[in-house]
Amino acid sequence: MIEIRGVSKSYNNGAIKAVDNLSLSVRPGEIFGFLGPNGAGKTTTIKMMVGLLRSDSGSIVINGHDVEKEPLKVKASISYVPDYPEVYEKLTGLEYLTFLADVYRVPRAERMARMKHFLELFNMTDAVGDLIQSYSHGMRQKIVLIGALLPEPEVFILDEPMVGLDPRSAHNLKEYMREHCDRGKTVFFSTHVLEVAEKLCDRIGIISHGRLIACGTMEELKEQAKNTGSLEQIFLELTEA
């Protein structure tokens, strides 16, 4: 469950308003797609949700915990995949995963089962003993992804997760997101791939210049835009300057 209320964030002492009085909520069991042109404020919003940036005003509540007031409780119930994964190059994939399992306190039996499952799923079993330095871009993306999946978080937050993944991995990730939500958990992700958003998401939010300009199910979006075409047409129409 995610509850964002009236959140604003500006950079450079107010010179750039990256997020402007944004409110939205995501219910448990929902996949929420976060769309918007480059520089609209998606990454900024996500960073505020995971505690990497402080909002100037407003509040963000995740699983009933305020991000500002109870950061540890929030952190323990989410996991996050950044848009550009900077990871410890000098650790092996496996060491990175065990490090995350340790800090999220994943019990032994669970961590072993999940590691094996996800490594197979994303075809990383063979590479897991190598230094991350030797990984390709997509492999790095996948190791960060697996690391984020290990704690089986209540809320899963991803910033453009499909970028760089091969078709099979992207497909597996989408399947996983669906299963995850069917178990009553929440997924929040930003993307530029409108087909993915259209097919996968229960609800979609479109942000432009830091403001939420549309939010709802596909049907609701169509109504709002008075356009019965594809998500692409709606997106282009709504974000026209």
Partner 1 sequence: MRLWTLIKQQLHVAFNLSALRWYARYDRKKLAGGVAIAVAVIASLVPMYYYVYLQFLDAVFLAGLTIGQPEILLTLSLVSASFIVLFFGIAFVMSTFYFSRDLSLLVPLPLTPGEIVGAKFAVVLVQEYLTVLPLFLPALIIYGVRMGTGIAFWPAGLAVLLLVPVLPLTVVSAAILLLMRSTNLGRYKDFLRLVGMVLLVVILLGINVLVTKLAPLTQEDVLALLLAEDGLIRFIARLFPPALLATRALVAGGVASVLNFLGYLAINLAGIVLTLFLGERLFYRGLIGGEEVAARKSVSQSRLERKMARVSSPAAAIAAREIKLLVRTPIYLFNSIGVLIIVPVALLLPLLMGEAVDPLLAIFLQPGNRFFVNLAGAAFIAIMGAFTPASSRSFSREGKQFWLSQVIPVPPAVQIRGKILYSLLLCLLSVPLVILLSVFFTKWSPPELLLVIVLGLCGCLPAVTSGLLIDLLRPYLNWDNPQRAIKQNMNVVLGMAVAALCYWLLYLLAKHLYRVGFSEYVIYAALAAAALLLGYIPYLVMLQIADRRYRDIVAP
Ligand X SMILES: Nc1ncnc2c1ncn2[C@@H]1O[C@H](COP(=O)(O)OP(=O)(O)OP(=O)(O)O)[C@@H](O)[C@H]1O
Chain residues binding partner 1 by CB under 8 A are: 12-13, 15, 50-54, 71-72, 75-76, 79-80, 82, 86-88, 90-91, 94-95, 97-105, 107-108, 111-112, 115-116, 125-131, 133-134
Binding site for ligand X (CB under 6 A): 11-12, 16, 18, 36, 38-44
Question: Cα(194)–Cα(198) distance, rounded to whole angstroms?
Answer: 6
Question: Cα(178)–Cα(161) distance, rounded to whole angstroms?
Answer: 14
Beta carbon of residue 43, minimum distance to ligand X (angstroms, whole number): 3
Instruction: Report whether 147 contacts 135 (CB < 8 A).
Output: no
Beta carbon of residue 231, minimum distance to partner 1 (angstroms, whole number): 30
Of the two residues 39 and 184, which places its CB atom closer to ligand X in the complex? 39
Instruction: Report whether 23 contacts 212 (CB < 8 A).
Output: yes
| Neighbour order of strands in the sheet with 65-66 | 16-26, 2-11, 57-62, 65-66
Look up residue 123 and give its two tokens.
Answer: 């075809």
Beta carbon of residue 171, minimum distance to ligand X (angstroms, whole number): 23
Give the one entry of Mg ion, ligand X, partner 1, none that residue 39 binds, where binding means its C-beta sits below a cut-off of 5 to 8 angstroms depending on kind: ligand X
Classified as helix, coil or strand, 223 is helix
User: Using the rule CB under 5 A, which residue among 4, 19, 22, 43 binds Mg ion?
Assistant: 43
Of the two residues 112 and 220, which places its CB atom closer to partner 1 in the complex? 112
Beta carbon of residue 149, minimum distance to ligand X (angstroms, whole number): 22
Q: What secondary structure letter does DSSP report for 35?
A: E
Of the two residues 39 and 129, which places its CB atom closer to partner 1 in the complex? 129
Closest CA to 139 of 157, 159, 119: 119
Beta carbon of residue 62, minimum distance to Mg ion (angstroms, whole number): 20
Question: Cα(204)–Cα(221) distance, rounded to whole angstroms?
Answer: 8
Question: Cα(31)–Cα(27) distance, rounded to whole angstroms?
Answer: 9
Residues in touch with Mg ion (CB under 5 A): 43
